[in-house]
Structures are given as C-alpha cells and as structure tokens.
Chains A and B, each alone.
Chain A
Amino acid sequence: MNQYAIKAEGLTKRFGSPTNPVVAVDAISFAVPGGSVTGLLGGNGAGKTTTISMLLGLLLPSEGRIEVLGADMVRQRHRVLPRMNFSSPYVELPHRLTVRENLTVYGHLYGLSGVAARVRELAAHLELTRFLDRPSGGLSAGQKTRVALAKALLNRPELLLLDEPTASLDPDTADWIRTYLEEYRRETGATILLASHNMLEVERLCDTVLMMRQGRIVDRGAPVALLARYGRGSLEEVFLDIARARGTASGADKPEAADAAE
C-alpha cells in the first residue's frame, strides 16, 4: 500500500457563476496515511460532504489535485474505484428492490466472484439475514444504515469513505456500527475517512481529525493532541471553540501538520 491512501493538494471547489462563485472548499491540503482512520469534523456547510464527493470522483474539483490509492482521481478514478467504497445516509439504495437484490446488483458491479455467498456472509455479520428478502424501502433507519454499510463493504474496500455513518441512529445501533467499523479496520487494515458531526464518534474511532470551517481546514491532529492544544476536556468543546473562531488556525492547511500529529 502507498504511504498515503489519500493526498489532496490545494483542493478547491467553487459553485455558481465565475463572477459570483460560492467557495465550498477553499484550497485545502491533507494526507491520510494508509491504514488510519481520519475524521472530517465541521458544522453544516463546512465542506465535508463536498470534500468526500471530490475524493470519490462524483464531483470534479475547480482546482487542486487528489490522489487516491496512488491514482489521480480526476483522470484515473476507474483504476481505483474497485478498491474503495462509500456509505452515506443521504444516498439511498433503490427502495423497491429487496436487500438481497440490491446487494447482488452491487456485487456484480464490483466484479465479485461468489456474489451470493458474499451477500450471505455480510448479512450474517451485519445481522441482516432475516431482512434479505424485504424491500429496502420498508426497513427502519438502523436497518437501512446496516444495509448501506453492507453495500460499502461488499468489495472488501481498502479505502472506506463514510459520510455521517451513524446519523439519525439510536445510541445502541450507533455503538454497534462503530464497533463493527473498529473490527473491520483491525481485521483488514483498511483506511477509513469519515465525516461526522458526532464528536464522541470521532474521538473514539479516529487517529487524526481534520477540523473544517467554511471550506477550510482550520486545525488538525490526533484527538488527544487537539484536546491538549485547546485545553479542553472533549472534542465537542474544541469544536465549539473553532466554530466560534476562537481556535488557532495557523499553519493548519499544510499537509505536514497532519503528519506531525501522527
């Protein structure tokens, strides 16, 4: 594996007209080491989902460069898409297809051998076996999240991008998902990048946190290092400091800052 699973340099996304652009992501640079779990933390409109969309190749950057698993995501994304996957509560699987049908279709899209066996295996791991033949649209939020996670794990991804993986879940289900992700990372050595509003989740899962505000990375580091730097007892307090612009942002947008935090 490359030293870095993700490298972004000067990544910028502007929407709207060239004369009156809205800058959603503003020249951010960061590197995610292979095998790590990195959190993108920020309030609404901070640029987390836009950043993840660019990393996935769903959105083309206005400027800057993205390298994922050694490939340029603008020109070579099809080389690495089979090795990565994605889950978000905001992008749903077709409601009228059963869970089994949805997972089977995606299994074939990822070119898996033994799709039926892999679907059964994941269903057993994620406690979805009894829902396999139910329409996906009829499931509860927690069940849908587990189905989305099963879809995201079908191809045993080396890189997993998760956009608010436990949003709108009850604490018990959210804890179950976090535990599963911890086990998956431990067993496979996969790299995980997750965007979240949930500070406890980020503190628990992430080796490194990238704090975003208004499209920029305003600070970064290991959760423990951030707590020490801000003299706070929780990431939530750090987040509030940054959201209220009391945090220091000096040098935060340099990729080496993330490396130093390791």
Chain B
Amino acid sequence: MPPSEALGMELSGFSPRRVGAMVLRYWYLLRGSWPRILELAYWPTLQMILWGYINQFMAGNSSWVAQGAGVLVSGVLLWDVLLRGQLGVSVSFLEEMWSRNLGHLFVTPLRPGEWVASLMVMSLLRTLIGVAPAALLAIPLFGYSVFDLGLPLALFFVNLILMGWAIGLVIIALILRHGMGAEGLAWIAVFTLAPVSAVYYPVSVLPGWLQWVALSLPSTHVFEGMRAVLFDGAVRWDHLAWAFGLNGLFMAAGVTIFLRALHRARVRGALLQTGE
C-alpha cells in the first residue's frame, strides 16, 4: 500500500467521542496523583520567581530592560508555554509506553488522528495548569501582569503551543522508531531551540547567519513580536504572520513524520513490544 494511502486511511473517520475517551484516560491519571499536578506548576513558578528578581534587578541597571517592563518575566512565561506544550504531548505518549498500553489502544477503533487530538487537548490542559498560576503570582510579586499584552498574548500563546505540539509529535516518532532509549529527547529537545528563539534578547544579537536559522522558527517571531508590544506598544503583524505560516509547515511536518513512524511501527511489530 502506498504511504500516502496509508496516511489518508489513518486520518479518516474522526470521532470526538474517542478523543474524549483518551482525554478521560489522561485526566484519570493526572487527577489520581497530586504530586503530578504540583510538578506541573512547580518549574514555571520557580522560573518566574527567578527571572522576576533578575528582571527587577536589571530594570535598575539596564536601560534596555527598564524600557520594556517585565520583558524577562514575559519571556520566561511564554517560553514555558512552548516547553509545556511539547512536554504535554510527549509525556502523555510516554504514559502509554510506560504502561505498555499501545497494543490495547490500537486494537480499538481509535484512529491515530484521534489519539493525537487527545494528546493536544491534554497538552493544553497541562500547560494551563502549569503556566497560569505562575502568571497570576507574578502580579502580586512583581507588579507585572503578562495579561497586559492584550490580544497579542492569545496569538503568541497559540503559536507557541502549536510549535510545541509539532516538536512533540516528532519526538513521539523518534521514540516509536528508536524505543525508550530516545525517551530523554522528550525532556531536552526544546531547550536546544532556546538560544536561537531569542527568548531574552533581540534576534539582532545573533550572528548574521544564525539570524536566518532563528527566523525560520515560529518561536523567534513570537518573542520578537512580544518585545515589539512591550517596547513600542506596537503589534507586529508581520511577525505573527510568519509565526502562523511557519507553524503550518511545522505541524504538517510533525503529523507526517508521526504517522510514518506509526506505520513503520506496525511494519516492525513495535506496538506490541513497547516499554522498557
């Protein structure tokens, strides 16, 4: 069967109820363990506090930071949206690997597209649980609200989480291909993009050739757009357009790579032999 036909079959016949069933499965897991819920909010909150004090200190010692109120806090909170978005997809997938459940799941009528949709819903929930408390805590602690970014904040959020999902799908594909030996990628992959995403500094700081690399990432356009709002009070629609366009390519690539890896796993018999 041609791969394109296989991909088409896997994406057809979408059922919201089966998506809901998988979301329920991950929700049962999450609600059954308060340390897991606490862990979701722990790192974003800790990071926000750390960068909040750095921001406060730098505001008195750096004219650049002083001009853009809360630029570092906004950076860390939005960075966590990307990180939590990717982890939300990858960790929910890893739960199936750890519990050796893929063999059961794929003999039900569940389609891969429905499973991916459920991973995305859970990623959204996990990100909100993780980042929202940190964002709210920044208001009394540092007198800074990321929500002051207004409507662009929602567009930044959408772009970062889309990019997180695309990367998450590629990581799932790598784990399906290479087994649990590739599990570590789920925890570190996004960090390799941090230096070129220009989270805490303008992209112009990077060498010329690296700027081209940076601008091929949706995240870089989001953080450039964020600084434009904070420093100039302007919404840079060009950056947002680039971010959405690149995310379209990233998602198309992520879904294709994931479905091909799943198809190859069915060829190799990897769905029954998952786990440690």
Contacts and interface: CB of A to CB of B under 8 A. Distances in A.
Contacts of B21: 105-106, 108-109
Contacts of A228: none
Interface residues of B, number: 36
Given A59-B269, A108-B24, A94 B109 contact: no
A49 B271 CA distance: 13
A111 B17 contact: yes
Instruction: Name which of A53, A75, A84 has the most chain B CB atoms within 10 A of its CB.
Output: A53
B25 A97 contact: yes
Contact of A81 (B108, B266, B267): B108
Interface string B25-44: 10011001100000000000
Contact of A97 (B13, B17, B28, B272): B28
Interface stretch (A27-35, A85-93, A124-132, A234-242): A85-93
B29 A15 contact: no
A4 interface: no
A58 interface: yes
Contacts of B248: none
B40 to A, nearest CB: 16
A93 B266 contact: no
A57 B272 CA distance: 11
B109 A105 contact: no
A109 B17 CA distance: 7
A59 B266 contact: yes
Q: From DSSP, what is the main secondary structure of chain A's interface residues?
A: mixed
Contacts of B99: 92-96
A50 interface: yes
B68 interface: no
A85 B95 contact: no
A58 B28 contact: no
B274 to A, nearest CB: 9
Given A75-B9, A108-B21, A110-B108, 7 more contacts: A50-B269, A56-B107, A58-B106, A58-B266, A91-B104, A93-B104, A104-B24
13 contacts: A57-B106, A57-B107, A58-B107, A75-B1, A75-B9, A91-B104, A92-B99, A92-B101, A96-B99, A98-B28, A108-B18, A108-B21, A111-B15
